[in-house]
Amino acid sequence: MMRLHYLPGTAAMAPHATLVEVGVSYELVRVERDADRRVAEEYLALNPWGKIPTLEDGDVVLTESAAICLYLAEKFPDACLAPPAGTLERAELYRWLFWLSNTVQMTLMRHFYPERYGTAGVEEAADADLAEHFDLTDRHLAGREWIVGEERTVVDLFLFMLTRWGRFLEPAAWERPNLRRHWLRALELPGVRKMIEEQGLELPAFARSTDA
């Protein structure tokens, strides 16, 4: 059985939702951290960066949230979580997934942990960048249901996670109309609903009527 090492609300959200969407059995393993947020040696043996999440699939040990989502999408093609390889839509999926993980996710890290990135003005600069990133994504979603093509893909699960992280921004990421519609649409996916339930995540007031 696959094992996902996670903590609630972290970068494990997208892989967790992906596991449900592909329909595979999995076990959730909560990562323990000490008072200094250090993870145990056994976890470092799996993930030398000490970051969350990590997926174990037999002998395969995979880190990096976006990589785990793609691995699962490719291993279970019947779940249609990625367009066929070699198509323009697949290229678009790569484009969005890389941008979300190497730019938007990293800018969120600058927002949450400014002390790791410099001495002054880091958070303000990150917030300005994030406003642009979420504005751009909101414009892309105008008149569309999903980020790539006509069906949900792993990119939508990844964006759902980042939009939730963006709830602390001013304005919150999901205050943008198309992003909010996308977030609520993704919340209806079985994988997202089960992930929210299993991780015990609170929903914002505007989403509670969906009974997730």
Ligand X SMILES: N[C@@H](CCC(=O)N[C@@H](CS)C(=O)NCC(=O)O)C(=O)O
Nearest distance from C-beta of residue 120 to ligand X, angstroms = 21
Nearer Cβ to ligand X, position 81 or 162? 162
Q: Point out which residues pair with 3 in neighbouring strands.
A: 27, 56
Give 36 or 211: the residue with its C-beta nearer to ligand X.
36
Q: Tell me the closest approach of the beta carbon of residue 11 to ligand X, in angstroms.
A: 4
DSSP 3-state assignment of 56? strand
Nearer of residues 9 and 129 to ligand X, judged by Cβ:
9
Residues near 17 by beta carbon (within 8 Å), at least 6 away in sequence: 157, 160, 189, 191, 192, 194, 195
Site residues (vs ligand X, CB under 6 A): 10-11, 37, 51-52, 64-65
Helices (H), 166-212: 177-187, 190-199
Our CB check for ligand X shows the closer of 75 and 144 to be 75
Q: How far is the CB of 70 from ligand X (least distance, A)?
A: 12
d(CA 144, CA 141): 5
Q: Smallest gap, in angstroms, from Cβ of residue 150 to ligand X? A: 27
What angle separates helix 154-165 from helix 177-187, to the nearest 10 degrees? 120
